[in-house]
Amino acid sequence: MLAPLEDRSVLTVRGCDEECAVEREANELRRLLRASRLRLRRSALQSTRQIVTLNAEIARLQKVCERQAVQIARYAAGSVVVDLGRRLMALSVANERLVEDSRRTAMLERVLGISEAERQRLVRERDAMARELAAYRRDALLGVPLVGGADAVAIREMNDGGEHVGQSAWSGDSGR
């Protein structure tokens, strides 16, 4: 067996150094193990996030693909062309109505312009006749003998200072 040591301090110092070195190495390994586990957790978390993001992108792209497949099927079946044809026909009918309404509006504007011109002519004629009637009444009150025909109108125009416009329908009547 072992013999008793006389100098225990040698054992303690040497043993402590070895023990301390082993303990330091174990602590270092624990620290490295914790750091490694932390890196692995972060890496796993980042990988999980990437997987979720990629799965969402895959789902979005699948929906886009399905929509495009439906659209391609509609094009292949010709329903899009038929729909466009229907819309074109409806728009053509609406356009024809619009063109017809535009023509009608232009015609009504021309008729309205002609009617306005006729109205203005009638207003002028009415005003001239009213002035002539007023002149006849004034002449009748003053006792001025009426001279028949255009001479009476010309005489009145000279007396009135030329207020009358155009010829009157009354100028041919000599009995008044």
Q: Is residue 35 part of a domain?
A: yes
Q: What angle do CA 143, 146, 152 make, to 5 degrees?
A: 130
Burial zone of 135 (CB within 10 Å; 0-12 exposed, 13-18 middle, 19+ buried): buried
Total structural domains within the chain: 1
Q: Within a domain: residue 92?
A: yes
- Whether residue 131 is contained in a domain is answered as no
Q: Compute the Cα dihedral for 90, 94, 99, 101 and give only its sign.
A: positive
Instruction: Say yes or no to pLDDT of 172 above 50.
Output: no
Phi, psi dihedrals of residue 38, rounded to the nearest 5°: -65, -45
Which run of H or E residues covers position 46?
helix 8-77
- Residue 170: the pLDDT is 46
State pLDDT tens for residues 105-122: 999 999 999 999 999 999
> How far from 62 is each of 69, 70, 73, 104, CA to CA, in Å?
10, 12, 16, 55
Element (H, E) at 1: none
- Asked whether residue 124 is domain-assigned, the answer is no
Task: Flag whether 44 is in a domain.
Answer: yes
How confident is the model over 108-157, as pLDDT tens digits? 999 999 999 999 999 999 999 999 999 999 998 988 776 555 555 555 56
Answer whether residue 154 is part of any domain: no
| CA distances from residue 162 to 125, 139, 153, 156, 171 in whole angstroms, order as listed | 16, 16, 10, 8, 15
Task: Classify residue 166: in a domain, yes or no.
Answer: no
Range of the domain at 58: 11-119
Is residue 79 one of the residues assigned to a domain? yes
